Structure 1
Amino acid sequence: MLRGEEIAPADTANIALVPLATPLLAGPGAIAAVMVLTKRYEDAPGRLGVLLGIIAVVVVVAVGLMLAAQIARLLRPSVIQLLTRVLGLLLSAIAVQFIVDAVKIIAVR
């Protein structure tokens, strides 16, 4: 602005979406799930099942992330916003159910 030139603001609309893949694949929830499942299924077939499940999830998420741009081009912004809100509501419902289950377990003790 000192030289009379106006600098356009950086496009920061999608700044929150940048670290999406790392927490999804290796976040605390994923690590805890792997720890719980490997403890629950300590025999060889059980561990193989857990490993195959992990591989399946990684493949599905990788394909989804690779096709995300093409899918976003096919969908209108209003559809994407609707899906975001519906899935956010579903996530909130799951979180509330976790809390209710934890309170029930604590109340029984």
Structure 2
Amino acid sequence: MNTSAERRSADRPEKESRHRAREAAVQMLYQWEVGKVSMSEVGQTFWIGPAATEPVGDELREFATRLATGVAGTVADIDPMIAEAAQNWRIERMNVLDRLILRMAIYEFL
């Protein structure tokens, strides 16, 4: 019989991997936002560079790419939600990483 600690330990690798995939998605979104390149170009180039050395399997690469692409495709829907909740802050004035993390979090909740 597994103890709850053993079950948590067994769940950890998947959670850590998904965490890494989310980090990759934020990096992809940063490249898209700051580099002003298309998300398809980001998807083609991101996994070739230093990110290719990260131990992320195909399933998690797909998850990260799908997440980043989904966020980029729904910015027009997500940004008004952020603007409505952000008092005395315009989205353009927010730190880029803060803005991207907020967008990704909202996208995952939708």
Structure 1 and Structure 2 fold alike (TM over 0.5): no
More relative contact order, 1 or 2 (CA 8 Å, 6+ apart): 2
Give me the TM-score of the superposition, normalised by structure 2.
0.34
Give me the TM-score of the superposition, normalised by structure 1.
0.35
